[in-house]
């Protein structure tokens, strides 16, 4: 959980810097997007290298939407505003280079799984 705590804190600091009114909500959505991107990468690996047909799971769009809504609700339950404030205060105790590294890791975690997944799907 420490990995995602650092992602939340890094995203919170980013959105707070731009005076975003709901920085805690945006930080949770960053974690949601990171997890969905990681799931996309895992599904791409399963489809390409293990020849598992994932189209069966993607046929029911309603089930996917309900799953994502439940997923978002669970993350908002896991990361209430009071917990995010505690995580950010712990994050602020890190040195400036460590906080910057976590900013880069958050950015990479948003886009790298999607790019790698697309490359893997085009592998064959």
Residues 6+ positions from 97 with CB-CB distance below 8 Å: none
What's the pLDDT score for residue 116?
A: 86
pLDDT along the chain (124 residues), means of 10: 84 81 84 89 84 74 87 92 89 87 86 86 74
* CA gap 5, 104 in Å, rounded: 15
Task: Write out the DSSP string of 42-108.
Answer: HHHHHHHHS----HHHHS-HHHHHHHHHHHHHHHHHHS-HHHHHHHHHHHTTS-HHHHHHHHHHHHH
**pTM attached to this predicted model:** 0.81
Domain extent, residue 114, equals 2-121
Q: How many domains does the chain have?
A: 1
What's the pLDDT score for residue 40? 85
Cα separation, 3 vs 102, in Å, equals 9
Task: Please give the pLDDT value at position 20.
Answer: 63
pLDDT (0 to 100) of residue 74: 94
């Amino acid at each position: 959980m420490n990995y995602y705590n650092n992602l939340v804190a890094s995203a919170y600091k980013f959105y707070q810097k731009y005076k975003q009114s709901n920085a805690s909500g945006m930080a949770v959505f960053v974690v949601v997007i990171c997890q969905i991107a990681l799931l996309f990468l895992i599904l791409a690996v399963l489809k390409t290298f293990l020849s598992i047909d994932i189209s069966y799971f993607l046929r029911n769009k309603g089930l996917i939407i309900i799953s994502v809504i439940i997923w978002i609700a669970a993350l908002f339950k896991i990361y209430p505003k009071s917990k995010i404030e505690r995580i950010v205060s712990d994050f602020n105790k890190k040195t400036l280079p460590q906080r910057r590294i976590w900013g880069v890791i958050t950015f990479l975690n948003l886009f790298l799984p999607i790019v790698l997944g697309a490359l893997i799907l085009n592998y064959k």
